[in-house]
């Protein structure tokens, strides 16, 4: 079964969306481009990088098993090994087949110490796609948690973890761009942590034909001064109750916390100063587009609207129009992609 084309009708709908030429060299948002970037942001999760554990390394499994006597622990070990091991060549072939549906080819894969990305292309443009947070990747989780801001050489302050994660592959990506990308525009995209890295890349990479950046479920990356240096348009897609898009906390939330901590005896003032100097100032980059809530997997009923205020989202919670049970699912890139699939199809029939 294909990830992108689950049915023959969905495959036909994708082909219809692809028939029209995508707009490039302009700041206008395009629902078809957005859908394709969501597809790529989902496909980059396919594990083209080599696994931590070799699934065929039976000797390693035997050695570890001998250390465990408890059968329940052995069962957990086998589950962990199954989760961490996979055939990356098979995953790479699957990636190629899925990209064929979108008429893309793989140009270059990047993988270094937990940061993964790929450059793919069509006859019209290139796309740089960053992988998001993986639950089994300690490096990804560490990058997410390093929310303390650090000064950026290009001005302003940036999330320390995102900066460090991008710098792992920055030189390799820049070298590849310098040597191989010619004439065609470049789109940059990613989901979750990948969206944050895509934002950093849009600001940091040197290529005069960066057309736009599309992020899905991206957390905040830096302060307003840092964002001023982003020349290409950034389109930030937020799905319903996705909680990651509200992190790290914005300036208003940090201001409230620093105010409250000042009333804590002895250590309150120190905590307030620490929060203010290291976490205050986070703001979202780019132009927001909001995917509305749906019920029971009715993706065809989703709408893509302009910026929705935080208060409106809170109101939706209170009125139970946005159930708390949907919060984890709303961050999934597959949900973003399925909603955008129908939006792109309906608007371009």
- 336: enclosing H helix or E strand: helix 333-347
Compute φ and ψ for 220, nearest 5 degrees.
Answer: -70, 145
Please tell me the predicted confidence (pLDDT) of residue 272.
Answer: 66
Please tell me the predicted confidence (pLDDT) of residue 9.
Answer: 85
User: Token match 């191989």: residue?
Assistant: 180
Rounded to whole angstroms, the Cα distance separating 113 from 61 reads: 24
Mean pLDDT of the chain: 79
Report strand pairing: 186-191 vs 126-130. parallel
For the cut 80, the answer to whether the pLDDT of residue 27 exceeds it is no
Please tell me the predicted confidence (pLDDT) of residue 105.
Answer: 95
- Report all structural domains of the chain as residue ranges with CATH numbers, in order of start: 8-51+87-347 (3.40.50.1820), 53-85 (no CATH)
Please tell me the predicted confidence (pLDDT) of residue 182.
Answer: 84
Beta strands in 234-279 (DSSP E): 234-239
Over residues 72-93, the pLDDT tens digits come to: 555 555 555 555 556 778 888 8
User: Token match 């796609």: residue?
Assistant: 129
Report strand pairing: 149-151 vs 115-121. unpaired
Report which of residues 161 and 63 the model is more confident about: 161
Rounded to whole angstroms, the Cα distance separating 93 from 89 reads: 6
Per-residue pLDDT band for 70 (boundaries 50, 70, 90) equals: low
For the cut 50, the answer to whether the pLDDT of residue 183 exceeds it is yes
For the cut 60, the answer to whether the pLDDT of residue 137 exceeds it is no
How far, in Å, are 7, 136, 229, 300 from residue 346 at the CA level? 17, 37, 35, 9
For 92-107, what is the mean pLDDT?
92
The region that residue 342 occupies, defined by phi over 0 for left and psi between -120 and 50 for alpha, beta otherwise, is alpha
- What percent of the chain is predicted at pLDDT more than 70? 68
Per-residue pLDDT band for 320 (boundaries 50, 70, 90) equals: very low
Q: Cβ distance 124 to 37 under 8 Å?
A: no
Per-residue pLDDT band for 258 (boundaries 50, 70, 90) equals: low
Per-residue pLDDT band for 147 (boundaries 50, 70, 90) equals: low
For the cut 50, the answer to whether the pLDDT of residue 66 exceeds it is yes
Q: Cβ distance 166 to 201 under 8 Å?
A: yes
């Amino acid at each position: 079964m294909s990830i992108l084309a689950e049915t023959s009708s969905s495959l036909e709908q994708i082909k219809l969306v692809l028939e029209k030429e995508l707009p490039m060299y302009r700041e206008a948002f395009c629902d078809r481009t957005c859908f394709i970037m969501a597809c790529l942001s989902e496909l980059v999760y396919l594990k083209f990088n080599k696994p931590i554990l070799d699934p065929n390394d039976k000797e390693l499994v035997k050695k570890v098993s001998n250390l465990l006597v408890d059968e329940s622990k052995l069962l957990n070990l086998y589950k962990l090994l199954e989760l961490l091991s996979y055939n990356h060549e098979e995953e790479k072939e699957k990636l190629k087949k899925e990209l064929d549906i979108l008429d893309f080819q793989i140009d270059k894969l990047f993988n270094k110490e937990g940061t993964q990305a790929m450059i793919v292309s069509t006859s019209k443009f290139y796309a740089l796609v960053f992988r998001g947070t993986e639950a089994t990747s300690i490096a990804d989780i560490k990058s997410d948690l390093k929310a303390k801001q650090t000064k950026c050489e290009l001005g302003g302050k940036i999330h320390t973890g995102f900066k460090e994660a991008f710098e792992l592959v920055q030189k390799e990506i820049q070298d590849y761009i310098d040597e191989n990308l010619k004439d065609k525009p470049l789109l940059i995209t990613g989901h979750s942590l990948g969206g944050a890295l895509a934002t950093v890349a849009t600001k940091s990479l040197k290529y005069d034909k960066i057309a736009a950046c599309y992020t899905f479920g991206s957390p905040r990356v830096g302060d307003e001064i840092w964002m001023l240096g982003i020349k290409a348009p950034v389109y930030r897609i937020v799905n319903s109750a996705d909680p990651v898009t509200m992190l790290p906390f914005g300036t208003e939330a940090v201001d409230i916390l620093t105010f409250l901590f000042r009333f804590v005896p002895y250590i309150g003032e120190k905590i307030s100063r620490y929060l203010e100097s290291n976490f205050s100032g986070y703001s979202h980059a780019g132009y927001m587009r909001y995917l509305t809530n749906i019920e029971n997997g009715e993706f065809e009923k989703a709408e893509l609207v302009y910026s929705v205020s935080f208060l409106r989202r809170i109101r939706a919670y209170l009125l139970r129009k946005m159930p708390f049970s949907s919060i984890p699912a709303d961050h999934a890139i597959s949900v973003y992609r399925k909603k955008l699939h129908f939006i792109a199809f309906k608007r371009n029939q």
